[in-house]
Structures are given as structure tokens and as C-alpha cells.
Chain A
Amino acid sequence: DAGVTQSPTHLIKTRGQQVTLRCSPISGHKSVSWYQQVLGQGPQFIFQYYEKEERGRGNFPDRFSARQFPNYSSELNVNALLLGDSALYLCASSLAQRRTHEQYFGPGTRLTVT
């Protein structure tokens, strides 16, 4: 079975530009979460989507937005990029929103903002 897939693998953008990152969850998983991981730190929660609705948001500015599609795939959008947005962006899927379901992480998209 395919795991969580993310695209692109690497991305280089310039300050002020916009970026879209994509995530395909494991088949049958309806919940997708996004995390930002800056070098040397643990992942930081950005968003959770379940059944195409936003169910949670972390402490990130409005420049960050996301959506989930009918096939449960998801996109993370970041506008007006800053140097500090350089990070590994991780997507995780789970069967449901319930706490007893573990999350499965994708390999991430490494974003570099210059």
C-alpha cells in the first residue's frame, strides 16, 4: 500500500512569492494534518482537516491556508513568503479525527525561501 505522498520534494522560492504544497493521504484516511519543522526543532502543528472541513489551526499567520478535496487530498498554501518560512513541511494522515488513531507522516516538502 502507498503511504502518504507529498509533492514537490524540494522547492526554492523568493521572498514575497506564493507556494502551494500537495499531500495525498493513505487510501481510506479522511483526516490530514500539516506541520512545519524548522531545522533543529520538532514539528509544529499548522492545520488539521477532516471530511473536507478545517478542524484545527495552530499559531500561524493568515498567510497560511489549506484545503481538503473530495478525494481527501490536501493543499497547503503560503502567501507572501518570508525567509523564516524556510522549513520542512510535513503532511500526516489518519483514519479519523479520533485520538486513538495514530498519524502517518509523509516524507515532507523542503521549502527554501531566498
Chain B
Amino acid sequence: DAKTTQPPSMDCAEGRAANLPCNHSTISGNEYVYWYRQIHSQGPQYIIHGLKNNETNEMASLIITEDRKSSTLILPHATLRDTAVYYCIVEGTTSGTYKYIFGTGTRLKVLA
């Protein structure tokens, strides 16, 4: 019952921007979009999250469309260490509990 869809894999040249898309057409007005990444079966690592506005931090930028039905994670200058599975998550709410519903993610490979 994942609430997001992502392409299964993408390649990006080292030093170039990596743009990872995510569709979340059923998102509710008060649900946040989160991005995490997982490197080689380590625990997922938080990247960024947002509600309506575009967000930027030291790792990445998050662009959310005006209708909030899709978003794009941008890694401005991808390095080999950015090779990982990237998860776009929209939280689900069950009986007042907010929980992450992970999909299968996008496997990003950064090429030298």
C-alpha cells in the first residue's frame, strides 16, 4: 500500500546533477514528503522533507509541484558515494499514528 511510485533505477554521471522523480498523486493536504537513502543494506539515512514549499539543505534540494502530486529530489553534484537506493515516502496515518510507508525506491548509480 505504498503511496509513492518511483522509477526502479537511474544512472548519473559523477559531478552532474541527479534528479530523482516521485509521484504521490493521492497525497493529502497535510501529509509531508520525505526522502531517505539506503547505502548497501545500512540503515536508511534522512535526506530532506517538505510539505508545500521547495526545500534545500546541505545534502539536496526538494522540489514539490504546486498540486503536490509529485516531487523531485535533486543532488546538485553527484559523487560516487551517492550511489544508493533512494526512497520517496509519504507518511500514512492510521488511528492517529504517523508511519512511513516505503516503496521499492530508485536505485541510483553514479558513474565515474
A69 CA to B2 CA in the complex, in Å? 31
Q: How large is the interface on A (under 10, 10 to 19, 20 to 34, 35 or more residues)?
A: 20 to 34
Chain A, residues 73-113, CB within 8 Å of chain B (1/0): the string is: 00000000000000010101000011110111111100000
Please indicate the chain B residues that have their CB under 8 angstroms from the CB of A33 in the complex. 99-100
Please indicate the chain B residues that have their CB under 8 angstroms from the CB of A108 in the complex. 41-43
Q: Check A4 for interface membership: any CB of B closer than 8 A.
A: yes
Report whether over half of chain B's contact residues are helix, strand or loop; otherwise say mixed.
loop
Q: How large is the interface on B (under 10, 10 to 19, 20 to 34, 35 or more residues)?
A: 20 to 34
A97 CA to B103 CA in the complex, in Å? 22
Taking a contact as CB atoms closer than 8 A, the residue among B2, B94, B98, B103 that contacts A99 in the complex is: B98
Please, which residue of chain A has its CB at the minimum distance from the CB of B46? A102
A44 CA to B105 CA in the complex, in Å? 13
Quick check: B102 and A43 within 8 Å, CB to CB? yes
Q: Which residues of B contact A (CB under 8 A)?
A: 2, 32, 34, 36, 41-46, 49, 87, 91, 94-105
